Structure 1
Amino acid sequence: MVLLRFRIIKNMIVAPQYRQMHLLKNSAYVNGEWVKASSNVVFAVKNPADDSVIAEVPDMDAADAKNAVDTAAAAFETWRWTTAKERSRVLRKWFDLCEENSEELAKVITAESGKPLAESRGEISYGNSFLEWFADTARHINGEIIPSPWPTKQILLTRQPLGVVSVITPWNFPYAMITRKVGALMAAGCTCVVKPSEDTPLAALAAAELAEQAGVPKGIFNVITTSRKNAASVGKVLCEDHAVRCISFTGSTGVGRILYGLAANGIKKVALELGGNAPFIVFPSADIEYALDQAMLAKFRNNGQACVGANRFFIHEDVYDKFVKGMKNRISQKCVLGHGTQEGVTCGPLINLKQVKIVSKLVEDAISQGAKVLVGGKVRKELGANFYESTLLVNVKPSMSVFSEEVFGPVVSCVKFNTEEEVLKMANSTRSGLASYVFTKDLGQAFRMSSKLEFGMVAINDGILSAAEPAFGGIKESGIGREGSKHGAEEYTELKYTLMSGLDK
């Protein structure tokens, strides 16, 4: 039946290897209906591993975005008054269906993002954890009763949903970034319009299919797809329409800055999770072999294309040579480039040729200024245009772009340090402030680093810090607000103060 469905769609292009994906959708999802763009124009979604066309999806414009916002606004008038118990029940059913369809969801992610299937499965597990978490959290978004200074008055603080939320998500975690936001806002009683990345819209549509099956009411969760050509005009609507009360965005700091400016026109709330430049700091007391294993996780998750990925590796001079040697060996042995569906592959392609050029330029600039490549450092053209080798750089200096900019690729940049003060100065010398990693067995040192590192998240002796339970987010130019935890749901509420007076009458 799936094969037949694809064949009868006019001008639909689907490679044979994708025809059995039953969650693969080629329509946008608005008001509980699968719809085309008003212009009937479509654009191709390609697999970055080989540039094969997976599917064609609607290229929606500003008018389509406006319609989706109006739909979400109308649905909000009903959804906001549902009980927390009912919202919890809906989210729980959506979670259950996503769990049941984990493997099919993972296949969609691997197809459109190129990441190895094992990593896609990990993303689905991670993404589903947010639906499960917010299904529980929905019933615990509490207000306060404050002791009154007046004997005949009572002070109440209640949390109420903001309204329509515009959700704009990136390509690197196309499923988890949606469930993390949508689960939270639905738990709070909000509705949304989701605009996934033009590179990876299929995971969002697959999630919408399962939301529909789970009984998520019409108009609560809307997904519109658009190409780069229409992205700016659609984004303008999603940021400036009067019905939108919050913009939730994960992506680059540059784009976040633009969206923040647009939101200012309507004094709208923003939840921004932006770029990072994470330090990975190793002190002499650390278990070096363990730190190396964690470094591989912190750096090469999604082939370095993660906002919390370790970017600058600060290694104490006493253990620098040992760490660098160990890292070189691990990269050579464990970083296997290839198509995400192939057995044994651990690193897929970068998302597109633009990203390949950015990473290549950063490495070449570093080499021109004296950095040395110990392993990797070039495009593997025999595998495909988007495959960049896992790379280890030494002799990296703070003046180099690879040090000051977020690489978003499989490049380890090693820097030697001597004292705590020195490494703190270098680590904090960035306008980003998302994630950081510290390896030490000195308890006092661990607490000092946690206190003095200017980052929203600090992982002590661990290379993976993301989960549904903690508050995820950054400081400085890495964003505003928090995702996950109870705070993630509270981001989509506003506090109302009610004074109950005349209680003695």
Structure 2
Amino acid sequence: MKKVLKALQIKNINNGVSTGVDSWAGSGKVLSSYSPVDGELIGKVRQATKDDYEKVITKAEEAYKIWREVPAPKRGEIVRQMGEALRANKDNLGRLVSYEMGKSLQEGWGEVQEMIDICDFAVGLSRQLYGLSMHSERLQHRMYEQWHPLGIVGIISAFNFPVAVWSWNAMLAWVCGDVCVWKPSEKTPLSAIACQHIIQAVLRNNNVPEGISGLIVGDREVGEWLSNDTRVPLVSATGSTRMGKAVGQAVAGRLGRSLLELGGNNAIIVTENADLQIVIPAVVFGAVGTAGQRCTTTRRLILHENIYEDVKNRLVKIYSQLRIGDPLDTNNHVGPLIDTDAVNNYQTAIEKVKAEGGNILFGNEVLSGEAYQSGCYVKPTIVEVTTQTPMVCHETFAPILYLIKYSTLDEAIALQNGVPQGLSSAIFTLNMREAEQFLSANGSDCGIANVNIGTSGAEIGGAFGGEKETGGGRESGSDSWKNYMRRQTNTINYSTQLPLAQGIKFDI
């Protein structure tokens, strides 16, 4: 890991304080990053003070005045170079993400690939920031709309995707002409620092202001500064529903914009017409990938009564064969939870659902021994429930899968929708009518609804986000770029008269 850190220009590891680049180095309390893989200290960084925050915002304001004037395709060219720089650093950055966050190495590399993909998407987008042309009701008038950048975009990201979700926002914001100030999770600061080194090198090579990309390491107080700052017109926040409600209220209180990507309590419906050969791997990956720490993790499995016992038995057998251990070892399927607090939440959730009548089919164990010395490794758990109790309706960021039996598709969809969250959902069926019902207005109420693929693993080409307590935000593909710009309607009168709309007469 020392070679990886050196390659990513993160210095003074385990011996002093890594302060990164001068443009954002904090002067506050020291924050230590420990790996959930082995419990070892990876490095330290100084957090930002309010004075440090003000310096970053001031630099961002100055950079925005220059960046907004750069033609969008030229902004896209710089983002293209960022994608190339990420390609060159994919192996090392993926390893750091895996080690600092605890996800499998394949997922760490996949996260960096997601960053590369969004760069490619943003490059094309830089030539497609289209506005509409509309016919005016008035003679010799032309009416159209255009899109302008907003200014500073504040980005608050979570530990489970320590770099990818930031890139979803930043790359689109940059081609739209905005500048970004990033507050990464305090649980994964070094992955963010590595990204900042990569991006700043590209900015320097293109002789554009470093304030285009700001980074502020700190705790929730930094998020509160961003949320309450009128100089930051948009705050994009990814995390828990509790956090999102606080951000949303603060930003709304100053009539700013917020883009919220919050909790998920995602379900897969499996009908009696499903192909179980693809159901099982989809469910297992969705439930145990990233040790259940994805917002799109499969947490509920709603099974038709005719196939319930078959699927249940298959899952228990496969869960018993899962390899749990060091995520940098590609032979392992499941890595650790992020920290011991997450382990406590896992244990508490299982005890509560047992008290509510849940039957533990597999798991419910914190692993110990030399291979699990960090204390963050748990067995993925399967719980059989007869109804959606309060604990089933609650999102627990851990690998706990609830099995629920149903009789009719209407009943299954009602169960699917019967939780406060509305992010991702899926149905497995070879019956066209069942699939179409699930996708209809009377079907899934989630922002993502899939047929014959699982809840986890969204592509960057589609808008990502959900409804209800998931926050209603949309990031990444489709027309999500409009979140980062302001719409302006323009009417041009090229006649010699001044006709008023709606035929109004005003003679003077």
Query: Same fold, TM exceeding 0.5?
Result: yes
Contact map agreement 2:106 2:330 (CA 8 A) in 1 = no
**In 1, Cα distance between equivalents of 2:237 and 2:250:** 13
Match of 1:457 among 448, 451, 474: 448
**In 1, Cα distance between equivalents of 2:112 and 2:5:** 21
Moved more, 179-188 or 478-487: 478-487
**In 2, Cα distance between equivalents of 1:21 and 1:372:** 49
Moved more, 60-69 or 471-480: 60-69
**In 2, Cα distance between equivalents of 1:458 and 1:42:** 43
**In 1, Cα distance between equivalents of 2:411 and 2:237:** 34
Whether 1:377 and 2:367 are equivalent positions in the alignment is no
Task: Report the counterpart of residue 424 of structure 1 in structure 2.
Answer: 413
Q: Displacement of 1:185 after TM fit?
A: 0.6
Q: Displacement of 1:400 after TM fit?
A: 4.2
Q: Could you tell me which amino acid in structure 1 is paired with residue 264 of structure 2?
A: G
**In 1, Cα distance between equivalents of 2:2 and 2:20:** 22
Q: Displacement of 1:390 after TM fit?
A: 1.0
Task: Report the counterpart of residue 424 of structure 2 in structure 1.
Answer: 435
The 5-angstrom pairing of residues 347-496 of structure 1 reads: 347-382=334-369, 383-384=372-373, 385-401=375-391, 403-451=392-440, 452-463=443-454, 464-496=456-488
Q: Displacement of 1:215 after TM fit?
A: 2.5
Moved more, 59-68 or 261-270: 59-68
The 5-angstrom pairing of residues 197-216 of structure 1 reads: 197-215=185-203
Task: Report the counterpart of residue 503 of structure 1 in structure 2.
Answer: 495
Relative distance call for 1:257 and 1:48 in structure 2 (3 A) is same
Gaps of 5+ in 2: 12-17, 498-508
Runs of 4+ residues deviating >4 angstroms: 15-21
Identity of matched residues, %: 25
Moved more, 120-129 or 165-174: 120-129
Equivalences, count: 481
Query: Aligned to 1:140, what secondary structure does the other structure show?
Result: coil
Contact map agreement 1:21 1:107 (CA 8 A) in 2 = no
Match of 2:82 among 86, 94, 102: 94
Q: Displacement of 1:16 after TM fit?
A: 5.6
CA RMSD of aligned residues (A): 1.7
**In 1, Cα distance between equivalents of 2:469 and 2:138:** 43
Q: Displacement of 1:395 after TM fit?
A: 3.0
**In 1, Cα distance between equivalents of 2:2 and 2:464:** 39
**In 1, Cα distance between equivalents of 2:415 and 2:27:** 52
Gaps of 5+ in 1: 1-14
Q: Could you tell me which amino acid in structure 2 is paired with residue 356 of structure 1?
A: V
Query: Aligned to 1:118, what secondary structure does the other structure show?
Result: helix
**In 1, Cα distance between equivalents of 2:138 and 2:242:** 49
Q: Displacement of 1:24 after TM fit?
A: 3.0
TM-score by length of 1: 0.92
Task: Report the counterpart of residue 316 of structure 1 in structure 2.
Answer: 304
Cα distance per residue 1:117-168 (max 9 Å; x no partner): 1211111112221111111111111111111111121112000111101100
**In 2, Cα distance between equivalents of 1:460 and 1:386:** 34
Q: Could you tell me which amino acid in structure 1 is paired with residue 444 of structure 2?
A: L
Match of 2:173 among 175, 185, 193: 185
Q: Displacement of 1:23 after TM fit?
A: 4.2
**In 1, Cα distance between equivalents of 2:10 and 2:252:** 37
Q: Displacement of 1:381 after TM fit?
A: 2.3
Cα distance per residue 1:51-106 (max 9 Å; x no partner): 21101011112222222112111111111111011111000000011011100111
Q: Could you tell me which amino acid in structure 1 is paired with residue 460 of structure 2?
A: A
Relative distance call for 1:405 and 1:22 in structure 2 (3 A) is same
The 5-angstrom pairing of residues 92-171 of structure 1 reads: 92-171=80-159
Q: Displacement of 1:465 after TM fit?
A: 4.5
Cα distance per residue 1:459-489 (max 9 Å; x no partner): 1100244111011111111123311114221
Contact map agreement 1:303 1:409 (CA 8 A) in 2 = yes
**In 1, Cα distance between equivalents of 2:257 and 2:2:** 44
Whether 1:261 and 2:261 are equivalent positions in the alignment is no
Contact map agreement 1:44 1:55 (CA 8 A) in 2 = yes
Task: Report the counterpart of residue 506 of structure 2 in structure 1.
Answer: none
Q: Could you tell me which amino acid in structure 2 is paired with residue 313 of structure 1?
A: L
TM-score by length of 2: 0.91
Contact map agreement 2:8 2:194 (CA 8 A) in 1 = no
Contact map agreement 2:155 2:237 (CA 8 A) in 1 = yes
Q: Displacement of 1:28 after TM fit?
A: 4.8
